[in-house]
Amino acid sequence: MQTIELAKELPINRAQFNNFMPLPGSEIYEDLKKKNYNINYDNYFVHDVAFVQEGFTRSEMKWFQRRAYLEFYLRPKIAIVLIKDITSLKHLYMLIKRFIDALR
């Protein structure tokens, strides 16, 4: 929730919200594997959840990610900027597709 609020306070028009992904070979990845955390490579994608922090479920983490996108981009001031920046139907299609992908 703090990340969402911070993003909304910053003077930016675009944001990306990702769940933590421990990358193979990194120190934290090795630590998590030693502690027997499950890291799901089937979900190793920027808009998915590869690692579930203790105390959360995969669906809760995905829900927070969706909420971040919705709260950030559905503000009138941001939506207006995005609409003004559209240069073609192809551009509009790409934006809609990216937004839908982020909400999956």
What's the whole-number mean pLDDT along residues 11-38?
A: 90
Binning pLDDT at 50, 70 and 90, where does residue 43 land?
Answer: low
Confidence (pLDDT) at 23: 86
Confidence (pLDDT) at 26: 92
pTM: 0.79
Backbone angles phi, psi at 51, to 5 degrees: -130, 130
When comparing pLDDT for 23 and 90, which is higher?
A: 90
100 CB-near residues (< 8 Å, 6+ apart): none
Q: Tell me whether residue 19 is exposed, middle or buried, using C-beta atoms within 10 angstroms of its C-beta: 0 to 12, 13 to 18, 19 or more.
A: buried
- In this structure, the dihedral spanned by the alpha carbons of residues 41, 46, 48 and 52, taken in order and rounded to 10 degrees, is 70
85 CB-near residues (< 8 Å, 6+ apart): none
Helix (H) or strand (E) holding 85: helix 76-85
Confidence (pLDDT) at 60: 93
Per-residue pLDDT reduced to its tens digit, 76-96: 999 999 899 999 999 999 988
The per-residue pLDDT of the chain, averaged, comes to: 89
